[in-house]
Amino acid sequence: MRIFAGSDGQTHAEEIHVDLGSPRNGGMFSPPMKAETMTFLRRAANAVEEWHTAPRRQYAITLSGHAELEIGGGKSVPLVPGGVVLIEDTTGKGHRVRTGAEEWTAVFVPVAAP
Protein backbone atom coordinates (compact mmCIF):
# COMPACT_ATOMS: atom_id res chain seq x y z
CA MET A 1 0.00 0.00 0.00
CA ARG A 2 1.21 3.52 -0.78
CA ILE A 3 0.00 6.63 1.09
CA PHE A 4 0.62 9.91 -0.76
CA ALA A 5 -0.49 13.54 -1.03
CA GLY A 6 -2.54 14.32 -4.14
CA SER A 7 -2.73 17.59 -6.04
CA ASP A 8 -5.95 18.27 -4.09
CA GLY A 9 -3.96 18.49 -0.82
CA GLN A 10 -5.60 15.31 0.52
CA THR A 11 -3.86 12.07 1.38
CA HIS A 12 -4.76 9.09 -0.82
CA ALA A 13 -3.93 5.37 -0.87
CA GLU A 14 -3.20 2.97 -3.69
CA GLU A 15 -2.05 -0.61 -3.79
CA ILE A 16 1.47 -1.09 -5.13
CA HIS A 17 3.56 -4.16 -5.82
CA VAL A 18 7.28 -4.52 -5.23
CA ASP A 19 9.16 -6.26 -8.03
CA LEU A 20 10.64 -9.37 -6.48
CA GLY A 21 12.81 -10.11 -9.48
CA SER A 22 13.92 -13.66 -10.12
CA PRO A 23 14.49 -16.64 -7.81
CA ARG A 24 17.78 -16.70 -5.92
CA ASN A 25 18.96 -18.93 -3.07
CA GLY A 26 15.50 -20.39 -2.55
CA GLY A 27 13.73 -17.01 -2.32
CA MET A 28 12.60 -13.98 -4.28
CA PHE A 29 14.50 -10.73 -3.70
CA SER A 30 13.58 -7.15 -4.59
CA PRO A 31 16.21 -4.81 -5.99
CA PRO A 32 18.13 -3.06 -3.17
CA MET A 33 16.65 0.14 -1.73
CA LYS A 34 18.88 2.62 0.04
CA ALA A 35 18.08 2.90 3.76
CA GLU A 36 20.47 4.09 6.46
CA THR A 37 18.32 4.33 9.58
CA MET A 38 15.22 2.83 11.13
CA THR A 39 13.01 3.69 14.08
CA PHE A 40 10.89 1.46 16.28
CA LEU A 41 7.61 2.82 17.65
CA ARG A 42 5.38 1.44 20.37
CA ARG A 43 2.04 3.21 20.85
CA ALA A 44 -0.51 2.50 23.58
CA ALA A 45 -3.86 0.85 22.87
CA ASN A 46 -6.73 3.13 21.83
CA ALA A 47 -4.39 6.06 21.13
CA VAL A 48 -4.91 8.74 18.47
CA GLU A 49 -2.20 10.76 16.76
CA GLU A 50 -3.97 13.71 15.19
CA TRP A 51 -3.55 14.90 11.58
CA HIS A 52 0.06 15.22 10.47
CA THR A 53 2.23 14.71 7.41
CA ALA A 54 5.01 12.16 7.19
CA PRO A 55 8.41 13.58 8.22
CA ARG A 56 10.03 11.82 5.25
CA ARG A 57 9.33 9.08 2.70
CA GLN A 58 9.33 5.85 4.71
CA TYR A 59 8.05 2.31 4.98
CA ALA A 60 5.97 1.49 8.05
CA ILE A 61 6.03 -2.21 8.94
CA THR A 62 3.64 -3.36 11.66
CA LEU A 63 5.25 -5.87 14.01
CA SER A 64 2.36 -6.40 16.46
CA GLY A 65 -1.04 -4.99 17.29
CA HIS A 66 -3.39 -3.20 14.92
CA ALA A 67 -3.85 0.43 13.91
CA GLU A 68 -5.34 2.38 11.04
CA LEU A 69 -4.30 5.39 9.01
CA GLU A 70 -7.22 7.71 8.30
CA ILE A 71 -6.64 9.53 5.02
CA GLY A 72 -8.58 11.91 2.76
CA GLY A 73 -12.30 11.41 2.31
CA GLY A 74 -12.63 9.52 5.61
CA LYS A 75 -11.02 6.39 4.15
CA SER A 76 -8.85 4.15 6.34
CA VAL A 77 -5.82 1.99 5.62
CA PRO A 78 -5.38 -0.93 8.05
CA LEU A 79 -2.00 -1.46 9.71
CA VAL A 80 -1.78 -5.16 10.57
CA PRO A 81 1.05 -7.46 11.71
CA GLY A 82 3.33 -8.15 8.76
CA GLY A 83 1.73 -5.34 6.73
CA VAL A 84 3.98 -2.90 4.88
CA VAL A 85 2.88 0.62 3.91
CA LEU A 86 4.95 3.16 1.96
CA ILE A 87 4.11 6.52 3.56
CA GLU A 88 5.05 9.54 1.46
CA ASP A 89 2.42 12.20 2.20
CA THR A 90 5.00 14.79 3.24
CA THR A 91 2.73 17.66 2.12
CA GLY A 92 -0.99 18.39 2.26
CA LYS A 93 -3.44 17.53 5.05
CA GLY A 94 -1.64 14.32 5.99
CA HIS A 95 -3.14 11.41 7.91
CA ARG A 96 -4.33 10.45 11.40
CA VAL A 97 -3.30 7.25 13.21
CA ARG A 98 -5.56 5.31 15.58
CA THR A 99 -4.43 2.22 17.45
CA GLY A 100 -6.69 -0.71 18.21
CA ALA A 101 -7.56 -2.42 21.47
CA GLU A 102 -3.95 -3.48 22.06
CA GLU A 103 -0.55 -1.80 21.94
CA TRP A 104 0.76 -1.25 18.38
CA THR A 105 4.45 -1.75 17.53
CA ALA A 106 5.99 -0.83 14.19
CA VAL A 107 9.32 -0.14 12.55
CA PHE A 108 9.81 2.83 10.21
CA VAL A 109 12.47 2.61 7.50
CA PRO A 110 13.19 5.86 5.61
CA VAL A 111 13.94 5.39 1.90
CA ALA A 112 15.28 7.67 -0.80
CA ALA A 113 13.04 8.99 -3.57
CA PRO A 114 12.70 6.58 -6.51
pLDDT digits (tens, 9 = 90+) for 83-111: 999 999 999 999 999 999 999 999 999 99
For the segment 16-38, the average pLDDT, to the nearest whole number, is 86
Domain that holds residue 97: 2-110
> Strand pairing partners for 4?
12, 88
Q: In which band, very low, low, confident or very high, does the pLDDT at 82 lie, cut at 50, 70 and 90? A: very high
Q: In which band, very low, low, confident or very high, does the pLDDT at 52 lie, cut at 50, 70 and 90? A: very high
**Percentage, residues of the chain above pLDDT 70:** 100
Q: In which band, very low, low, confident or very high, does the pLDDT at 33 lie, cut at 50, 70 and 90? A: confident
- CA dist 96 and 50 (Å) reads 5
What's residue 29's pLDDT?
86
Flag whether pLDDT at 30 surpasses 80.
yes
Instruction: Give the gyration radius of the chain's Cα atoms.
Output: 15
pTM, two decimal places: 0.86
20: CATH: 2.60.120.10
- CA dist 47 and 102 (Å) reads 10
What's residue 34's pLDDT?
85
* Structural domains of the chain, count: 1
Flag whether pLDDT at 38 surpasses 80.
yes
Quick one: which of 1, 8, 2 has its CA closest to 93? 8
